[in-house]
Amino acid sequence: MFVSVQDLIILGIGCISLIIWLGIFIAAKKYDELFEPLDEKEYALKELYSMGYFVMEKLKYNYKSRRDRKLRQDMEVLYEKKYVEYYLRVTYSRAVTYGMLLFVLAFVVYGLSGEMGVLWVMFMFSGVSVYYVMTLAPKKIEARSAALLGDFSEVVSKLALLTNAGMILREAWELTANAGEGIFYEEMQTAVAEMKNGVSEMEAIRRFGIRCMMPEIKKFSATVIQGIQKGNSELSSMLQAQSAEVWNLRKQNVRRQGEKAASKLMIPIFMMFFGILIMVIIPIFSNIGV
């Protein structure tokens, strides 16, 4: 079997890359325990994240760029403030690990196929994997926001109904919080726990609005606080008015989600078409001069 100079150079680079990858794998084992608490279902290949962490430590990256500040803001929405720095480093470690792994695998795939097009496609996937991991936090926030909005209208309707029936807010809030499952109900349950631990109703509901980080829910929490100050009769009418507003918001959100779903389908279709195009066209052009 004839092996070209190009094959020898590429496979030589691949061997060097593999040796470096193995060296990092061995040297990074001391950081493995940092990633043990992570959920295996959400964080695939977490056993290798120490490699990315090792590389970032050797590069002495300070996590102070504009992108890092934005990422910190996203992390504060998703996690408790004391865990923000940890998950920021987990994100970078994960991205670097995936990028390195796919980069090394690119040479393995090239050795099996012998096609330059396949090598470039694998390199592309290596870069895409880094980009994908770095954009996961905004996507999680978007999913969290959608989940919150999904339960929002139902919760406001229940609270309006219970307060209108004469139940005091604290009892109505606790009853509603324990009546369902999901992020919105969990945040309400957290507020209930805070009330039972001595936090005032208004402060617990204010914290609830901050944790949810959505303008609509912040407005809802402000409405509830204002209703508490004015009395239960005022609160009932204010919640009923907001209930109608929230239902209209839900209709608009469902319409937007349908439009987004249609547009997102085009991205994977285009990527598959682009990859297939490269794998088909490159061998054709390489055989023209044969």
pLDDT of residue 281: 66
> How many CB atoms are closer than 10 A to CB 214?
17
Domain edges within the chain? 5-134, 143-260
Which run of H or E residues covers position 9? Answer: helix 5-27
| pLDDT tens per residue, range 205-217 | 888 888 887 777 8
250 pLDDT band (50/70/90 cuts)?
low
Distance CA 109, CA 256 (A): 41
Residue 9, pLDDT > 80, answer yes
**Helical packing angle, 5-27 and 49-58, nearest 10°:** 90
Most trustworthy range by pLDDT among 76-80, 175-179, 213-217, 233-237: 175-179
Model pLDDT, residue 272: 72
Q: How many residues does the chain have?
A: 290
From the list 172, 182, 177, 193, the residue with the least C-alpha distance to 149 is 182
Does the structure show a pLDDT above 70 at 70? yes
Higher pLDDT, 98 or 233: 98
- Which of 57-66, 211-220, 264-273 has the least mean pLDDT? 264-273
The pLDDT, as a whole number, for residue 224 is 82
Backbone Cα Rg of the chain? 26
Q: Which of 36-40, 159-163, 284-288 has the highest mean pLDDT?
A: 36-40
Q: pLDDT of 117-158, one tens digit each? A: 888 888 998 999 999 999 888 888 878 877 787 777 788 888
Contact present, 50 and 34 (Cβ < 8 Å): yes
Question: DSSP of 197-233, one letter per residue?
Answer: TT--HHHHHHHHHHHH--HHHHHHHHHHHHHHHH-HH
Average pLDDT value for residue range 70-97: 88
Quote the Cα angle for 254-258-262, to 5°. Answer: 170
Query: What's the pLDDT tens digit per position in 95-110?
Result: 999 999 999 999 988 8
Q: Contact 96/52 with Cβ under 8 angstroms?
A: yes
Q: Exposed e or buried b for every residue in 96-118, given b needs 16+ CB within 10 A?
A: bbbbbbbbbbbbebbeeebbbbb
User: How much is the average pLDDT of 57-71?
Assistant: 90
* Tokens found for residue 147: 């989940």
Mean pLDDT (the chain) is 82
pLDDT value for 173: 85
Architecture of domain 143-260: Up-down Bundle (1.20)
